[in-house]
Homo-oligomer: A and B are copies of this chain.
Amino acid sequence: MEVLTNGTVTSPIGFMATAVPAQIKYSDRLDLALLVSEQDCAAAGVFTQNQVAAAPVLVDQETLVVNNGRIRAIVANAGNANACTGKHGLADARLTQTAAAFELGCEADQVLLLSTGVIGVPLPMDKMQTGIYAAAADLQRRNDENAAKEEGGLLAARAIMTTDTRPKHLALQVELSNGTVTIGGMAKGAGMIHPNMATMLGVLTTDAAIAPDLLQTLLKQAVDVSFNRISVDGDTSTNDTVLLLANGASGIDVAEAADHAVFLGGLTHICTQLAQMIVRDGEGATKFAAIQVTGAASQADAHAIANTIATSPLVKTALAGSDPNWGRILAAAGRAGVAFDQQQTALWVSNPGGAALQLVAEGMPTAYAEANAAAVFAQADIDIVLSVGGGTAVATVWTTDLTHDYVTINADYRT
């Protein structure tokens, strides 16, 4: 596995991207991105489980069912989520597909959609159409001028930002049995957009050739241990979506089982890195904590406990206060709905690369020095390991602290 410096979704062969300022809501920044593959793509998608799914989510899900293997483009916009917009929202999403297809010379159901932003407000279709036209023209210009490919991917990563403070993108190459393939990715952060919704969007591309069913399986596996293991505020959105396009432009097939594993390793690395970028850029975050639960009876148990700790307001305010308040960690673990014996719990804390300090053994505090624990919690990166018994399952969830700035961003933005 080789990480490509400044890699983006356009690092894989045969993908181009750009972005334009479409004035959808923001007045002076990129807010509409267009990603196009030269060849038809197999596609995979993982979507919000929220019952109030936004129109682009519903349209993408249907599009993947009817036309997988022939996907050509993704249109992404920031500033308007096209959520809670009823039947009109669905019509606007389909119109967006049609507008992009017209410019790109493909069919409407070869276009996938991503939206993030304010909800309950109709998508401004005039601005969307104008933006798509401008983006397609710019893509043509880039193609004619042989512009640096990575730059377009970087523009796209900037265009999907909302409350993010920096773009999030990455690419890498993996060696398969028949040659090298490239995987690229970009994401926007968890946290709430001004003024309305938390959203997490991710786009992954690869020039490997992979059948749609396998692609979906691999994406699901990678997302389960990456994007599904992060928490900023525990709220999930109407728009959360991760899409993966595979266009086969490298001529290299992911067919053998050994190649599956290598490709999955690369895909998981990209997803994990993007997920951690999202957490580190979480609203108001000053701390990054990896919560690892060991000794559980099952992966599901370990994940449930780690997730409950990671979303606990008491744990997250303790992190904000640099307070090694381990009682809150145990108490959060105890309400995860998983049975364990508190007399068998043990807890260690450390900073990356540093020695682990054991705070709890057999459910009781050890004779640790408070100053040592405080020193660990004073750092920006904190690793917490909780063992809940003699099981073999392990899970890690990444989270942030809960700060005054989080409340400010999410409560006081009108003043």
Contacts and interface: CB of A to CB of B under 8 A. Distances in A.
Interface string A308-325: 000011100110110101
Contacts of A195: 323, 325
Contacts of A70: none
Nearest to A199: B331
Interface string A324-336: 0111101111111
A313 B119 contact: no
A364 B85 contact: yes
Contacts of A317: 406-407, 410-411
Contact of A53 (B313, B318, B334): B334
B235 A332 contact: yes
Contacts of A118: 327
What is the size category of the interface that chain A forms with chain B?
Answer: 35 or more
B404 A314 contact: no
A298 interface: no
Contacts of A49: 335
Contacts of A313: 233-235, 313, 402, 406, 410
A140 interface: no
Copies of this chain held together in the complex: 2
B321 A412 contact: yes
B196 A321 contact: no
B410 A363 contact: no
A84 B235 contact: no
A342 B51 contact: yes
Contact of A333 (B51, B334, B413, B415): B51
A76 to B, nearest CB: 20
A236 B335 contact: yes
A402 B403 CA distance: 11
A41 interface: no
B411 A334 contact: no
Pairs of residues from A and B, 10 with the lowest C-beta to C-beta distance, nearest first: A321-B411, A52-B334, A317-B410, A50-B334, A86-B364, A119-B327, A51-B334, A320-B411, A317-B411, A233-B313
29 contacts: A51-B338, A51-B339, A52-B331, A52-B334, A52-B363, A53-B342, A84-B330, A84-B342, A86-B363, A87-B343, A119-B327, A119-B330, A120-B360, A196-B328, A197-B327, A197-B331, A234-B313, A235-B313, A235-B328, A235-B331, A236-B331, A236-B334, A238-B327, A238-B330, A238-B334, A313-B313, A321-B410, A321-B411, A402-B407
